Structure 1
Amino acid sequence: MAARNKKTTMAKLNRENRQREKRMEKNARKEARKLGLVPAPAEAEGEPVEEAWQLTRGLDPDQL
């Protein structure tokens, strides 16, 4: 019965949220590559990683 009274700490909740966000970002990058919006990492020679990251969030590269 004591196990039911345990609370999840904020640190654990923050870690879980960070991991969930990271997974979502990874899936968004993967989908963008599938749709051809962002070149695959092997094709993106010399292209900063930040630009590909921003493209997956729907930002226009001209606005940067």
Structure 2
Amino acid sequence: MGSNTKRRTTMAKLNRENRLREKRMEKEMRRGAPRVEAEAAEPLQPLGTDHLDRLDRMDPEVAAIVAEEAKRNS
């Protein structure tokens, strides 16, 4: 038995496998596209005032600045 008895994968088989792999990737992209669009379309939620609860733990100067900005934005 020489080296000629070794089986080789034909180019046709490699091409079929590549097409199948590409087809699966395209299908996965189509499945994921609506999720990506839905996530991008969600409106951003405005920031609440929960950061104002932490004013007592902040540096007094920083707390004053944050409180002034919150009053201006309200």
Give TM class, smaller chain. 0.3 to 0.5
Structure possessing the higher radius of gyration over alpha carbons: 2
Q: Normalized against structure 2, the TM-score is what?
A: 0.42
So what's the TM-score if we normalise by structure 1?
0.48
- Bigger share in helix: 2
